[in-house]
Amino acid sequence: MEFKASICIQTERCFYVYFSYLWNVSAVAAAIQKMTRVRVVDNSSLGNTPYHRPPRVIHVYTKNGVGKVGDRVLLAIKGQKKKALIVGHKMPGERMAPRFDSNNVVLIEDNGNPTGTRIKVPVPTHLRKLEGDYSKVLAIANSFV
Amino acid sequence: MQVKTMNLLCHSRKVLSSVLRSSVLLKPAEAFGSICSFSKARCISLSVPQHFTANLTSCQHSHHTASFTGHFDIKRCYSESEESRNSESNGVIEDDSHELDDNSSENSSLSRRSLETFSLDVLVSLLRQENAVDLCVIKVPEQIKYAEYFIVVSGVSPRHLRAMALYAIKVYKFLKKDEDPNVKIEGKDAEDWMCIDFGNMVVHFMLPETREVYELEKLWTLRSYDEQLKSIPTETLPEDFIFDVEVTK
């Protein structure tokens, strides 16, 4: 059972002033790649202060340039580079894995410690089985999906 | 000399030798201070080879009133020395407790692997033995399908954290059966926060400053009533928001 959801349209002009995230309509081709706009879901100040440009992915640390849940990416936020971890994307993945309505990302330092201290948005539990250091992100998450 | 002091210590802690294992299922209203649970520690024996002088200090330093599991010292013996050492330590055992028979059954090295599993008791006792500061064990409720026990430990320095983590891994590897998966330390290059995920238990080794920043105990006890969560502003839709339904493929 996939978590299908409706997508909301948002006028681009006045979007950045009010709302911190854009809901887009175009179909998803590959999960997260360079130049995708992402949504930062933790409570870090870097991810939550408004800026005139949304955070974009500038590099994906995988063999192919496609980022799925659990992959590290490099973001350009507020004119600076920051590493982040993907915790959910719009592209459908495995059958029983959750699909999200937005490409969610958690900011991370270079040593793997999360920048924020809490994550309100649901985080997938299959992160635990993946190879990689996800226990820290799971430890600060509030709800699991 | 050490034997005598250990004896005294054990006698003084006779009262405390039966410690309840209280696993705490938490309601949101409960105070933060009451969450730490004590593991059931059995004061079985106190063997005294030289490298166990640390145990004395750990007894005194530990925040919680419990005696460590003496049988665990024998384990340490196994992992580091030969059998002759172990038989020597057998002779030194104080019969302070009522569990001598347990002792003797556990002393057969070959069958001991199958008798002991790496449970919460073992982990907590080894952390106490390593002079862990502020050990906190939280029983995670069933609804959260993450782990059963969430443990947060502080250390004195990054090196101390690393030593504790490596020792925990060492003991786990010794006690695990072949079908149990191997466990790795996450966050090896971060010097202030390391985690180990043992299936049903998750341990976090942090420095006290890092612990203050993240406040993991608060989050895991007061799940949605946590203060930091509440201070995250809720996202509101802007005024000119147009809601349209569109189905993707």
- How does pLDDT run across A55-97, given as a tens digit for each residue? 999 999 999 989 999 999 999 999 999 999 999 999 998 999 9
In this predicted structure, what is the pLDDT of residue B234? 84
pTM of the model: 0.63
Q: Match 């039966």 to its residue by tokens.
A: B18
Q: What is the dihedral of CA B116, B118, B123, B129, to 10 degrees?
A: 40
For residue B42, tell me if it sits in a domain: no
Continuous segment of H or E residues that includes residue B11: helix B2-12
CATH of the domain at B141: 3.30.460.10
Which member of B224, B231, B235 has the closest CB to residue A142? B224
**Per-residue pLDDT at B92:** 39
Does B79 fall in a domain?
no
Residue of chain B with shortest Cα separation from A26: B248
Q: Does B224 sit within 8 Å of A11, measured CB to CB?
A: no
Can you give the pLDDT at residue A21? 66
Domain boundaries, given as residue ranges, for chain A = 28-139
Please indicate if any CB of chain B lies within 8 Å of the CB of A45. no
- Could you say which of B192, B204, B228 has the minimum Cβ distance to residue A118? B228
**Which of B 187-226 lie inside 8 A of A, CB atoms?**
187, 189-193, 195-197, 202, 204, 210, 213-216, 219-220, 223-224, 226
Is A96 at the interface with chain B, CB within 8 A? Answer: no
Residue of A nearest to B239 (CA): A18
Separation in Å, CA of A143 to nearest CA in chain B: 8
pLDDT of residue A122: 94
Query: Quick check: A140 and B189 CB within 8 A?
Result: no
In which residue are the tokens 């695990």 written? Answer: B176
Nearest-angstrom CA–CA distance, B180 and B173: 9
In a domain, B185, yes or no: yes
Q: How confident is the model at residue B200, as a pLDDT? A: 87
Identify the domain containing residue B229 by its residue range. 116-248
- Establish if A62 touches chain B: CB-CB under 8 angstroms: no
Q: Is residue B186 part of a domain?
A: yes
Determine, for residues B202 and A135 on separate chains, whether the beta-carbon distance falls below 8 Å.
yes
Tell me the fold of A28-139: Ribosomal Protein L14 (2.40.150)
- For residue A10, list chain B residues with Cβ-Cβ distance below 8 A: 241-242
pLDDT of residue B16: 43
Lowest mean pLDDT among A35-44, A105-114, B53-62: B53-62
Sorted by sequence, the CB contacts under 8 Å of residue A14 that are 6+ apart come out as B238, B240
The reported pLDDT for the residue numbered B117 is 81
Give me the tens of pLDDT residue by residue for chain B, a chain 249 residues long. 554 544 544 444 444 444 444 444 444 444 444 444 444 434 333 333 344 344 434 434 444 433 333 344 444 444 444 334 433 434 433 344 444 444 444 444 545 555 678 888 999 999 999 989 899 999 998 888 888 999 999 999 999 999 999 999 998 988 887 777 878 888 888 889 999 998 889 999 999 999 999 999 999 998 888 888 888 888 887 777 777 655 555
Segment 134-153 of chain B within 8 Å of chain A by CB: 144-146, 150
Q: Which of B58, B22, B61, B62 is nearest to B40 (CA)?
A: B22
Q: What sign results for the dihedral spanned by CA atoms B113, B139, B216, B66?
A: negative
Mark residue B89 as left, alpha or beta (left: phi above 0; alpha: psi -120 to 50; beta: remaining). alpha
Domain total in chain B: 1
CA–chain centroid gap for B56, Å, is 18
* Mean pLDDT of the A36-40 span: 93
Determine whether the interchain pair A6/B246 forms a contact, defined as Cβ–Cβ distance below 8 Å: yes
Whether B13 is covered by a domain: the verdict is no
The verdict on A139 touching B (C-beta cutoff 8 Å) is yes
Q: Do A10 and B241 touch (CB under 8 A)?
A: yes
Residues ≥6 apart with Cβ < 8 Å to B142? none
Taking CA–CA distances from A132, the nearest residue in chain B reads B186
β-strand pairing of B149-154 with B201-206: parallel
Which of A135, A142, A143 is closest, CB to CB, to B197?
A: A135
Per-residue confidence (pLDDT) for residue B33, from 0 to 100: 41
